[in-house]
Structure 1
C-alpha cells in the first residue's frame, strides 16, 4: 500500500455497455484497495461525472493526481484532461501519461491470445480504437512491435476508427500476405464496449477479449500499472518549501 497521498482521479472513456462499466468499476475498486488516498472515477465521454466536475468537487484539500485509464496518448489525454487540470482544478494537479505503451499491457495481450487459442503459426493483427492524433497511432505501433518481439513474429495494426489501416483492411492484408496462416486479432481495448463489439465481429479466425473482462478480476499487472502511474505522478507535484 502507498503512503497517504494526493487524491487519485481515474478518468476512463465511458461506455453504455454494462459489462464494460463493471470491468472498469472492478479496476477502480482494485486500485482503491491498494492506495491509501481517496480515489475518484470519472469519464471523458458517455457517462457522468465528467473530469471538470470531479476535479472541482473532490473532497478535502490535498493535491490531485489524474491517471487516465486510457491506453494511448490522444485527444482525451492531451486536450480534455490536460485542459481540465490547467484551467478547472482548484488545487495543485499532476497528470500521468496514458497507460500505454507498457510491457505489462503486452504481457496481457499475449495472455489473451493464448486464452483464445492462438499459436505461433497465426498472424496477429492488433486491433486498436484509433485516433486522429499521430502520437496515439505511434503508441499503438510501439505496442504492436513489442508484441511482435514477444511472439517472435510480425504483428500488424488495424484501427476501428479515425486512423488507417482499418481493421478489416489489416485482416485482408494479413490473409493475402500469409494465406496458409490463421489471422488472430489481439484486441487492444481496455474493456468491453462498442469498439470491442466491432472487433469481435471482424472477419478473423479468432479474436481475443479486451484487456479487462467483466467475468474476472482485473489482472494484477494492470492494477500495478495504474498504481505506478500514480506514484510517479505524485513525484512531479511541487513540494512546499
Structure 2
C-alpha cells in the first residue's frame, strides 16, 4: 500500500493540489499529514501496517529526518527517500516558472527553509539546475522560514544590483502560508505555482514506491 506523507496546510487549496497528484497515480494511494490537517500520518499507518511511505517533502529537514521515521517505525512501514535533489523536481519548478512568464533577468528559488544541516540542499539543487537551464540569468536561493536570506532580502539585493525583471520560482509543493507570502512579495514580476500536481512529481512518487522492491510491495 502506498501512503504519501505530506506536511499539511490550513489552506483549502492545498487539498485540491494533493488530490490531483493522487488521482494521477496508477496505483491506489492514501495521504497522511504531518501537521495542520487530518488524517494524521500515524492515524493512516495504524490501519495500514507495513505500508510504503513516500515523503512528499522537498528537503531533508526535521519532518523527513526525525518525526516521519519515528511514526513509520511504530507500524513497521518502509520509508523511501524524499524528493530533495531530484532533477525532475527542478524540471517541474522550471515548467511552472515558464508558465508564469519565464525567468526574466533574475530568479529567486524560494524554498521553505530549514535549520537542520542539509535541510536546504533540495533548494540549492534546483538553483544549480535552473542556472544550467537558463544561462545568462542570475539564479539565487532564498527561504520562507528557518533560514536566510529571506525572499524579500534576496529581491532587495537583486534590485540594488540593477536587476529589473525578477521572478520567484516556488520550490514548494502546495498552496499554503508560504505561497501567500511569495505572492505578496513586493518588487517581483512573476511568482510560479507550487508543483505537487505536476506530472513529473507523480512519476517521481511512483518510482519511489516501486523502488521499495517486490518483496515489500507484496507484504
TM-score by length of 2: 0.91
**In 1, Cα distance between the equivalents of 2:211 and 2:34?**
22
- In structure 2, the partner of 1:76 is 63
Structure 1: 5+ residue stretches without partners? 1-6, 213-217
Alpha-carbon distance in structure 1 between the residues aligned to 2:8 and 2:151? 22
1:21 aligned onto 2:15: yes
- Give the structure 2 partner of residue 122 of structure 1: 105
**Residues 67 and 230 of structure 1 are in contact (CA less than 8 Å); yes or no, is this contact kept in structure 2?**
yes
Does the 8 A contact of 1:9 with 1:42 survive in 2? yes
Classify the secondary structure of the residue corresponding to 2:19.
helix
Distance 1:238 1:109, change over 3 A: closer
Does structure 1 residue 95 correspond to structure 2 residue 79?
Answer: yes
SS in 2 for 1:162: coil
Indicate if the aligned counterparts of 1:184 and 1:206 stay in contact, CA closer than 8 A.
yes
> Does the CA-based 8 Å contact 1:71-1:189 persist in structure 2?
yes
Does the 8 Å contact 1:11/1:43 carry over to 2?
yes
Counterpart Cα distance in 1 of 2:120 and 2:194: 18
Structure 2 match to 1:4: none
Match of 1:14, SS? coil
Cα RMSD of the aligned pairs, angstroms, is 2.0
**In the alignment, structure 1 residue 165 sits paired with structure 2 residue 149:** yes
Partner Cα separation in structure 1 for residue 56 and residue 215 of structure 2: 19
Match of 1:225 among 196, 204, 207: 204
Partners of 1:94 and 1:234 within 8 A in 2: no
Q: How many residues matched?
A: 217
Q: Matches of 2:102 and 2:160 in 1, distance apart?
A: 19
CA contact (8 A) 1:124 1:185 kept: yes
Change (3 A) 1:130 1:180: closer
Select the structure of larger CA radius of gyration. Answer: 1
Q: Quick one: structure 1 residues 77 and 236, their matched pair in 2 at CA, closer, same or farther if it must change by over 3 Å?
A: farther
TM-score (norm 1): 0.83
- TM-superposed CA distance for 1:70, in Å, is 1.2
Asked whether the 8 Å contact 2:106–2:163 carries over to 1, the reply is no
- The answer on whether the counterparts of 1:9 and 1:66 sit within 8 Å (CA) in structure 2 is yes
Structure 1 position 67 matched with structure 2 position 54: yes
2:162 matches 1:192: no
What SS is found at the alignment partner of 2:57?
coil
CA distance in 1, matches of 2:109, 2:204: 20
Quote the Cα distance in structure 1 between the aligned partners of 2:39 and 2:218.
29
Q: Structure 2: which 5+ runs fail to align?
A: none
